[in-house]
Amino acid sequence: MPTATLHGVVLADAPEQEVLHIEGNVYFPPSSVRHELLQPSPTPYTCPWKGQCQYFSVRDGDGLLVDRAWSYPTPYPTAFERVGADFSDYVAFWKEVEVR
């Protein structure tokens, strides 16, 4: 079961058949993510083929790791075809967050 953790705290976990692998990142379904540990970030980004990205900062104890998670709330319809699934609001993590 893929799990995203930060210093032993589970941020997301889901069975392999529910996650998506896109460009080397594991995307977790929204229902598997602990959203109370994420804070929406104002950082703007639009992927040329996926669409507008929503970044999140991740709570780390009393601190906040800026832009360590992201999702695509409304991906381009052509992205569904490319990925082979609807990945709206799925969340991926990077840097200090360990995904196994």
| DSSP result, 21-87 | EETTEEEBPGGGB-GGGEEE-----EETTTEE-EEEEEEETTEEEEEEEEE-SS--HHHHHHHTS--
CATH of 3-99, one of 3.30.2320.80, 3.40.50.2000, 3.50.50.60, 2.170.150.40: 2.170.150.40
Q: Under 8 Å CB-to-CB from 23, ≥6 apart: which residues?
A: none
Distance from C-alpha of 86 to C-alpha of 62, rounded to nearest angstrom = 34
What was the pLDDT predicted at 66?
97
The pLDDT mean for the chain works out to 97
Mean pLDDT, 10 residues at a time, the chain of 100 residues: 96 98 97 98 97 97 95 97 97 96
Q: What is the tens place of the pLDDT at every residue in 71-83?
A: 999 999 999 999 9
What was the pLDDT predicted at 67?
97
Residue ranges of domains in the chain:
3-99
At 78, which amino acid appears?
T
Q: What is the largest CA-CA distance in the chain?
A: 40
What was the pLDDT predicted at 48?
97
Q: What is the tens place of the pLDDT at every residue in 40-53?
A: 999 999 999 999 99
What was the pLDDT predicted at 8?
94
What was the pLDDT predicted at 51?
98
